[in-house]
Amino acid sequence: MVYSYFPGCTLKNKAKDLDVWGRKSAEALGFTLEEIPEWQCCGGVYPMNKDEIAVRLSSVRALAYARDHEQELVTMCSACHNVIKQVNNDMATDEYISSHANNYLKQDGVEYHGETKVVHYLEVLRDEVGYDKVKEAVTNPLKGKKIGAYYGCLLLRPSNVMAMDNSENPTIIEDLIRAMGADPIVYAQRNECCGGYLTLEDKAIPEQRVKKILANAADQGAEMVITACPLCYYNLKKHSEGTGVEVKYFTEVLAEALGVKEEA
Amino acid sequence: MASNYTITPDEIKEISGVNPLRCMRCGRCSATCPSYDNMEYHPHQFVAMVENGEIDKLMKSESIYKCMSCMACIERCPRQVEPARLIEAIRLAVVRQQGASHLMPDDVPALLDPDLPQQALVSAYRKFTK
Amino acid sequence: MQRIGVFVCHCGTNIAATVDVKAVAEAARKVPGVVFSTDYQYMCSEAGQDLIKESVKKYNLTNVVICSCSPRMHEKTFRGAVETVDMNPYLLEVANIREQCSWVHKDKAVGTQKAIMLMKAAVAKATLDTPLTPGMLPVTKRALVIGGGIAGMQAALDIAEAGYEVDIVEQKPTIGGKMAQLDKTFPTLDCSSCIVTPKMVDVGQNEKIHIYSYSEIEEVKGYIGNFDVKIRRKARYVDEDKCTGCGLCTEKCPMKNVPNEWNLNLDKRSCVYIPFAQAVPKVATIDPRYCLMLNKGKCGICSKVCGVGAINYKDTDKIVEEKYGAIVAATGFEISDISKYDEYAYAQSPDVVTSLEYERLMSAAGPYGGHLKRPSDGKDPKTIVFVQCVGSREKDSCKGGKEYCSKVCCMYTAKHAILTKDHYPDTDIYVFYIDVRTPGKLFDEFYRRAVEQYGVHYIKGAVGKVTPNKATGKLEVQASDLLLNEQLHIEADMVVLAAAIEPSHTARKLATMLTTPMDTNDFFTEAHAKLRPVESATAGILLAGMCQGPKDIPETVSQASAAAAKAIGILSKDQLVGNPCIAHPDEMMCNGCSQCAGVCPYGAITYVEKEFRMPDRTTKVRRVAQVNEAVCQGCGACTVTCPSGAMDLRGFSNQQIMAEVDALCQ
């Protein structure tokens, strides 16, 4: 299977680990990520308003590209996934946003109404590859490792649009952890916010959030948490000291399990 | 921030797509909000105050910069009121004014550290600046 | 030539405020065939009816048109009135100028114009009315009650009391329903078992009542007075007639690890089981999902220990066919699925329970023998948080909860709080509410007692997140207090969720079989929200209990008795008056294509080979449709399906409908 891949700005820079190991793992698992040429930054956060059109256009262009190439659009970054999937929903269901966005697209001879299916890398693993196949492909099972999933907010909310999993008791990452041979640790704070972009102005708020999240993960027995979001990764890692919990991207751990991660 | 600017509750409702009258005062938004303690006005108050037309107070409050856009209140609101959208609309009403951006480019270098992901910067810009 | 009288009702201001009723009466006078018209304040009142009757006599009217409310409301009233002055009731038409006109218009000119059009259409139809005589139907003097909870038991007992045979079909191995699982009842705090188990015994011992337990409705055919029902008696692998309920098999059964649904899976039971000590019938049932003998052909212990030879591993489902005159639907409710609300950590901690589970935890017959304990470690809970409206009162939310209020949660939560405090006075109890709804006799007093006498903390606000903490064994509850404008953090031992109530999952399938309407929530719809609250729109199908909407025990019992009275009303008649507005084929036009039979929801249409004299004096045998007049409900599906226009509906003939349309389009 070949997918249109939207890496996003951070995966080209500070979150190279999320991107690189995801691509390597995809190769190992037999699916191809074709990077969308000239993709533009998604904006990082979904515009929660009805009247801003221009900020949605980068997502729409990527979506239209995937549609024109008859491919599903894959992201690895939670934030890109959230923005693109919500914008896709706007294009399909919000008449005002859709018609105004299409007015811009007209100049390029493009018209788009939400036809593309947006899937997260995790959904490709679960629904296309299948966790049974992932399990078979694991050469370096993470036996006995106690790993908690950290979903954050962006993968799951709002659940009526994201529709990836049960937003309050998700299992998509836990099942992957199991497939990789490790023990998934379920903890309640795994879908509570890390503090997000507030970290730029005020480190105290994310710190307080992360302490609560990682304390909960540690309490339930996690030695490591894995995430799909560069911002979560940053906040978690920054304030993980003293919690005894390691923080990693899920793709890096996957690459390890699949034996495609050369020790640098 | 330009001081004489006013925006009507109807404009806020239009920008946000939120109808505050749908609120049944259950308080689930403020129960779930992870930024509650950082806020002067809490999510449920945004709803009541927009309904009451008290937009000015909200526009002047630091609370609008304390929302993490985590969508917990959206996810858990039983009546599709979704206060985060109101908070966003009010913040937009402020930062759309000339010279009223909450985050100035000159301030940014001091805020950076080597590990800070681009995503943080882009998101904060989207939220705090026009 | 017809002599039609038109009577325009004001309905107080309901119609007169938006429709110029005098102008409608005036306009009627100009319609051909109308010889008299008038208006009156309340046409349905005795004086109004007298006005109609006197006018029929005085002006020698052949037809009457009433311009008033919906025919669903008062057509029967007016038809009864004209019948007393020897007019065939089917020569009366009602023009609905209230629900379809005055209530939906604001502009009086527009409303008046529309009312005049509706009046003209009704007159056009009346012109073509023919006298109709309903047929008489026999009545089977036996009732069926579907569901053996408190609603079904009460209905069955009342019908039996009147001297009629009743069958109860209950899908579980015992009757008793949800009420038998409750600990105490509000607001009196009397023990639920103590009042419901004697009722179960009464039902079990009543000679007029037959219980089909562990059974389901397979098929329903027929109509009021004459329902043909197939009942599936599921294989229970125990002969009900032989089993004495001694319980030896359940003791000796080696498969003891089966989730016990009676205690909401809070403990385990054996594979061959009697749900609880007071079960009726007190007969064992083998759970085929877990039985070693049935699945692996090994074991057979229950058969060996049974002193009366009641175990039968070769048992199969059996279909029983019965006839009934009336059916009471009493299928009850379920606790809705709360998996989307796991911010409350129900799936993550055994100490987070639903309210019904809390009933079992408190019950003397429950898994802890009446000593309330924290499920995780068996310790006494010191702090308990109750969360109201979990999945109720939602609209267009991400989680897609129910829009309605589940009605009983406020009261049972007050009860839980009081009972807990009674047992363990030093327990701290928090109840998070949106509104406290206590409209019932002694209900608010009860709730206030929880607050004032017992010191239960009622907090206007909600719980947002529950985080189980392994180290402390506590549940960290994050919540809002809207009155104090604070976010609270409570360390709780237990969290109790008032999960929304929803109709039994069997109800939708049953509604299809009964051809009775449901609302979007799968509650059965009553025939009239105010005036016929215990009947369904389908004649002979009556409603009792939660299957019609959330309600408490006294309301359920009242409705059950009312449904029983309606059933008795049907059964007490030797014959029922049928509906004459039924389909009939024009045999000369019918070509026997069978399309009408295909769409008939009642199976009322069959075909016969009939000999016809043809215009050329020959005879020819042709296949033509035949309508069973007793079965036809007059829905009209066949008349619109018939490609040759042979099928027609009496009282709503194709010609009449076209005349109405013509009148509207003039």
How does pLDDT run across A69-79, given as a tens digit for each residue?
999 999 999 99
**Beta carbons of C434 and B80 less than 8 Å apart:** no
Distances (CA, A) of C431 to B41, C388, C411, C446: 24, 7, 12, 15
Q: What is the pLDDT of residue C207?
A: 97
Residue A262 has pLDDT above 80, yes or no: no
B101 contact residues in A (CB cutoff 8 A): none
Which of A65-79, B83-97, C616-630 bottoms out in mean pLDDT, i.e. has the lowest?
Answer: C616-630
Amino acid A263: pLDDT = 54
Give me the pLDDT at residue A264, please: 44
| pLDDT at site B3 | 52
Tell me how close the Cα of B53 comes to any Cα of chain C, in angstroms.
19
CB contact under 8 A, C485 and B45: yes
| Cβ-defined contact of A169 to C467 (cutoff 8 Å) | no
Q: What integer pLDDT is reported at residue A261 of this predicted model? A: 87
CA C14/CA C239 separation, integer angstroms: 63
CB–CB of C399 and B27 under 8 A?
Answer: no
Q: Say if the Cβ atoms of C398 and A158 lie within 8 Å.
A: yes
Whether residue B99 has pLDDT greater than 90: no
pLDDT in tens, A104-133: 999 989 999 999 999 999 999 999 999 999
pLDDT of residue C450: 98
Write phi, then psi, for C100 (nearest 5 degrees): -95, 5
- Nearest-CA residue of chain A relative to C347? A169
Task: Pull the structure tokens for residue B79.
Answer: 């009546």
* Average pLDDT, integer, range C182-211: 96
**Of B2-6, C261-265, C595-599, which range is least confident?**
B2-6
Cβ–Cβ < 8 Å for C500, C402:
yes
Mean pLDDT of all residues in chain C?
96
Q: What pTM does this model have?
A: 0.90
Q: Which of 464-483 (C) contact B at CB < 8 A?
A: 464-465, 478-482
Lowest mean pLDDT among A93-102, A176-185, C542-551, C612-621: C612-621
Rg (C-alpha) for chain A, rounded Å, is: 18
d(CA C348, CA C330): 35
> Taking residues C45-51, what's their average pLDDT?
96
Cβ contact C379:C373 at 8 Å: yes
Nearest to A219 among C348, C465, C470 (CB): C470
Query: Do the Cβ atoms of B22 and B10 come closer than 8 Å?
Result: no
**What is the spatial distance between Cα C256 and Cα C270, in angstroms, rounded to a whole number?**
4
Q: For the segment C319-375, what is each residue's pLDDT rounded down to a tens digit? A: 999 999 999 999 999 999 999 999 999 999 999 999 999 999 999 999 999 999 999
CB contact under 8 Å between B88 and A49, yes or no, is yes
- Tens of pLDDT, residue by residue over A43-78, are 999 999 999 999 999 999 999 999 999 999 999 999
Average the pLDDT over C566-593 and give the result. Answer: 93
For residue C633, name the pLDDT band (cuts at 50, 70, 90). Answer: confident
Q: What's the mean pLDDT in A227-233?
A: 97
pLDDT at B80: 95
Confirm or reject contact between A243 and chain C (CB < 8 A).
no
Give the residue numbers in C contacting A (CB under 8 Å), as ranges.
339-343, 345, 347-348, 398-400, 465-471
Residues 45-64 of A with CB under 8 A from C: none
Question: Are B38 and A205 an interchain contact pair (Cβ–Cβ within 8 Å)?
Answer: yes
- Which one-letter amino acid corresponds to residue C142? R
Q: Which residue of A has its CA nearest to C342?
A: A168
Give the gap in angstroms from C-alpha C549 to the nearest C-alpha of chain B.
Answer: 21
Four-point Cα dihedral C112, C115, C120, C124, nearest 10: 180
Picking from C582, C563, C663, the residue whose alpha carbon sits closest to that of residue C628 is C582
Report the C-alpha gap between C609 and C621 in whole angstroms. 6
Q: Show which subunits contact B, needing at least 3 CB pairs below 8 angstroms.
A: A, C
Contact C378, C367 (CB under 8 A): no
Q: Please, which residues have CB within 8 angstroms of residue A143's CB and are 6 or more apart in sequence?
A: A181, A182
Question: Is the pLDDT confidence value at C168 over 70?
Answer: yes
Q: How many CB atoms lie within 10 A of CB C244?
A: 13
Residue B1: pLDDT over 50? no
Taking the CA of residue A210 and the nearest CA in chain B, the distance in Å comes to 11
Average of pLDDT values for A222-244?
A: 97
Reported as a single tens digit per residue, the pLDDT across A30-39 is 999 999 999 9
**Given this model, what pLDDT does residue C265 score?**
95
Taking CB atoms and an 8 Å limit, are A230 and B117 in contact across chains? yes
pLDDT at B4 over 70: no
A-chain residues near C398 (CB < 8 A): 157-160, 167
* Chains adjacent to A (≥3 CB pairs closer than 8 angstroms): B, C
> Which residues from chain C sit within 8 angstroms of residue B23, using beta carbons?
none
A251: nearest Cα among A222, A227, A224? A227
**pLDDT per position as a tens digit, B41-55:** 999 999 999 999 999
| Interface residues of chain A, partner chain B, Cβ below 8 Å | 8-10, 13-15, 41, 43-52, 55, 77, 79, 153, 156-159, 167, 192-193, 195-201, 205, 209, 229-231, 233-234, 237-238
Torsion of CA B98, B103, B104, B110, to 10 degrees: 170
Cβ of B74 within 8 Å of Cβ of A14? The answer is: no
Distance, CA of C307 to chain centre: 43
pLDDT digits (tens, 9 = 90+) for C443-499: 999 999 999 999 999 999 999 999 999 999 999 999 999 999 999 999 999 999 999
Chain B residues closer than 8 Å to A41 by CB: 122
Of A159, A169, A189, the CB nearest to C467: A189
Q: Average of pLDDT values for A99-107? A: 95
User: Which residues in chain A are closer than 8 Å to C343, comparing Cβ atoms?
Assistant: 168, 188
- For residues A253 and C612, which has the higher predicted lDDT (pLDDT)? A253
User: Which chain B residue has its CA at the smallest distance from A161's CA?
Assistant: B75
Q: Do C470 and A188 touch (CB under 8 A)?
A: no
Name the residue type at position B77: C
Residues 6+ apart with CB under 8 A from B84: A48, B43, B67, B69, B70, B71, B73, B74
Mean pLDDT (whole number) for C127-133: 95
Q: Which residue of C has its CA nearest to A221?
A: C470
Whether residue C212 contacts residue C169, with contact meaning beta carbons closer than 8 Å, is answered with yes
**Selected residue of C341, C343, C397, C463 to mutate for chain A interface (largest A Cβ count, 10 A):** C343
CB contact under 8 A, C468 and A186: no
Mean pLDDT of C425-450: 97
Tell me: pLDDT of B60 over 60. yes
Chain B hits for A45, Cβ within 8 Å: 69, 122-123, 126-127
CA-nearest of C558, C566, C463, C443 to C187 is: C443
Q: Which tens digits make up the pLDDT trace of C291-313?
A: 999 999 999 999 999 999 999 99
Please say whether the beta carbons of C286 and C295 come within 8 A: no
> A57 φ, ψ to 5°?
-70, -35
What letter does residue C523 receive in the DSSP assignment?
P
Whether residues A188 and C340 touch (CB distance < 8 A) is answered with: no
- Residue A224 tokens read as 């490591």
Tokens of A118: 């947006």
The rounded radius of gyration (Å) of the Cα atoms in chain B is: 15
The span from the CA of A124 to the CA of A118, in Å, is: 10
Closest approach of chain A CAs to the CA of B3, in angstroms? Answer: 23
Instruction: Please give, rounded to a whole number of angstroms, the shortest distance from the CA of B16 to a CA of chain C.
Output: 16
| B101/A contact by beta carbon, under 8 A | no
**For chain A, how long is the longest CA-to-CA vector?**
56
